Amino acid sequence: MSIQIKDVQTILTQPAGSRLVIVKIITSDDGLYGLGCATFTQRFHAVHTAIEQHFKPFLIGRDVDRIEETWQMLMVNGYWRNGPVLNNAISGVDQALWDIKGKRAGMPVYQLLGGKCREGAAVYGHAGGDTPEAVVDSIRQFEEQGYRYIRCQMGGYGGKASTLVKPEGAPEGAYYNRKEYMMNHLRMFEHIRAEMGFEVELLHDIHERLHPIEAVGFAKDMEEFKLFFLEDALAPEDIEWFRHIRQQCATPQAMGELFNHPHEWTPLIEGRLIDFMRMHVSQMGGITPARNVAAFGQMYGVRTAWHGPGDTSPVGHAANLHLDLWAPNFGIQEWCRFPEHVYEMFPGLPEVRNGYMYPSDGPGLGIDIDEDLAAKYPCANEVIGWTQTRLPDGSPARP
Ligand code: MG
């Protein structure tokens, strides 16, 4: 019997740092609904409007089973495509439809994808501090909780600049100094490896803050520290430079959290220029394209490492996890460690034990939302500060 989409709702909530956007698709079958993550924390009103004003009228009355057809039509129905905001909105709808299909089948989504390749997904946490010693302390705390993969940053992205010489009248902002960042982080990794040896898997995120030629040199200098991966060495606008990094060193490259368009990841995978694909599943269009690109990467020896920070909602993390459990070429899963009240708000939120993430037993994505609790944490309207990044001369830079 065919079941139709009866209503599409958008739930906005900010239980921790990030403004979350959750899509709830209500069906004509009493009590059957699906959840998806459409979070774009910095521009959540735009996604909300896209879903409510443009997608809802398009979706109502459609067959919930036709995920692929709905996805293909949503992508082209607005004519212009493959940008943020609309991709986020499509991701939310797509994940909610997979959730519904799983509930209809009485199976978790990983079963619909082909079944498990593994029982749990290995995760990495974010260690940090203001000095190399503090970073080592932070790594040890993660190790005590069973983490074996740890990302290390000192003073946040780009480091904390101490030798800034700004021009007179330079505006306020999140300043950093590329040269100082590179020097400090090379010293930091030297210290970590001297203290801890080479057993623990270390990761680092450049956050696209270097000039391309600096990134080539930095990736080469980092080779001796044997990272699990170096992330976002280049900006999406500079991806042709990956070829030069490859020619210089064997530091594994992870890339893709900012990607919108298939033309951004296709040449990197095909050219075997990256080792891990980092696309944001709640931004690239959802489970449907993520499944396709995972299979594509598998043919080229490229592993998955889906973006998993705090501005992916718990529903988005559940979607990541179902892909992780299935994908033959799973690499690693980023994990942000939500506070306790977020577990209360999202019953079935995946749990991490001894460095592995596990899903709940529920069908579909296996996660729900307590809407009354979500309403107690409304989204704040604010101009985001941390993305107002500046170079020493005061000019704007990538965050
Ligand atoms: Mg990153």
The confidence score (pLDDT) of residue 251 equals: 98
For ligand 1, the distance from its centroid to the CA atom of residue 382, given in whole angstroms, is 23
**142 and 241: one domain?**
yes
DSSP 8-class letter at 4: B
% of the chain residues with pLDDT over 90 = 98
**65 and 155: one domain?**
no
Dihedral angle, C-alpha 186, 187, 189, 195, nearest 10 °: 160
pLDDT tens digits along 321-349: 999 999 999 999 999 999 999 999 999 99
**159 and 96: one domain?**
no
**141 and 271: one domain?**
yes
The confidence score (pLDDT) of residue 1 equals: 80
The confidence score (pLDDT) of residue 160 equals: 86
In a domain, 386, yes or no: no
**103 and 125: one domain?**
no
Which residue in 349, 337, 350, 344 sits closest to 370, CA to CA? 344
**46 and 175: one domain?**
no
For ligand 1, the distance from its centroid to the CA atom of residue 252, given in whole angstroms, is 15
**58 and 74: one domain?**
yes
Q: Give the separation between CA 71 and CA 145, rounded to whole angstroms.
A: 40
**46 and 158: one domain?**
no
Strand ranges inside 244-332, DSSP E: 253-255, 276-277, 303-304
The confidence band for 361, taking pLDDT boundaries of 50, 70 and 90, is confident
Does 157 participate in catalysis according to the annotation?
Answer: yes
Q: Give the separation between CA 241 and CA 327, rounded to whole angstroms.
A: 28
In a domain, 392, yes or no: no
The confidence score (pLDDT) of residue 233 equals: 98
The confidence score (pLDDT) of residue 294 equals: 98
Q: Give the separation between CA 342 and CA 1, rounded to whole angstroms.
A: 36
pLDDT tens digits along 68-92: 999 999 999 999 999 999 999 999 9
**102 and 220: one domain?**
no
Does 207 participate in catalysis according to the annotation?
Answer: yes
pLDDT tens digits along 235-282: 999 999 999 999 999 999 999 999 999 999 999 999 999 999 999 999
Containing domain of residue 205, as a range?
Answer: 112-364
Share the mean pLDDT of the chain. 97
Which residue in 309, 301, 304 sits closest to 336, CA to CA? 309
Q: What angle do CA 22, 24, 27 make, to 5 degrees?
A: 170
Exactly one of 33, 124, 147, 157 is catalytic; name it.
Answer: 157
**352 and 314: one domain?**
yes
pLDDT tens digits along 175-222: 999 999 999 999 999 999 999 999 999 999 999 999 999 999 999 999
For ligand 1, the distance from its centroid to the CA atom of residue 220, given in whole angstroms, is 20
| Three-state DSSP state, 21 | strand
Sequence-ordered list of residues with C-beta below 8 angstroms from that of 79, at least 6 positions apart, any chain: none
**178 and 34: one domain?**
no
CATH of residue 75's domain is 3.30.390.10
The confidence score (pLDDT) of residue 162 equals: 83
Exactly one of 126, 204, 207, 322 is catalytic; name it.
Answer: 207
Can you say how many angstroms the Cα of residue 198 is from the centroid of all Cα atoms in its chain? 27
Residue 144 has pLDDT above 90, yes or no: yes
Question: Do the beta carbons of residue 3 and residue 23 sit within 8 Å?
Answer: no
Q: Give the separation between CA 152 and CA 159, rounded to whole angstroms.
A: 11
CATH of residue 276's domain is 3.20.20.120
The confidence score (pLDDT) of residue 67 equals: 98
The confidence score (pLDDT) of residue 161 equals: 82
**Which contiguous run of DSSP H or E holds residue 51?**
none
Q: Which of 57, 90, 108 is the last residue of a domain?
A: 108
Global pTM value: 0.97
Interval 24-35 mean pLDDT: 98
For ligand 1, the distance from its centroid to the CA atom of residue 40, given in whole angstroms, is 15
In a domain, 356, yes or no: yes
The confidence score (pLDDT) of residue 58 equals: 98
Number of compact structural domains in the chain: 2
pLDDT tens digits along 102-132: 999 999 999 999 999 999 999 999 999 999 9
For ligand 1, the distance from its centroid to the CA atom of residue 205, given in whole angstroms, is 6
Q: Give the separation between CA 264 and CA 289, rounded to whole angstroms.
A: 14
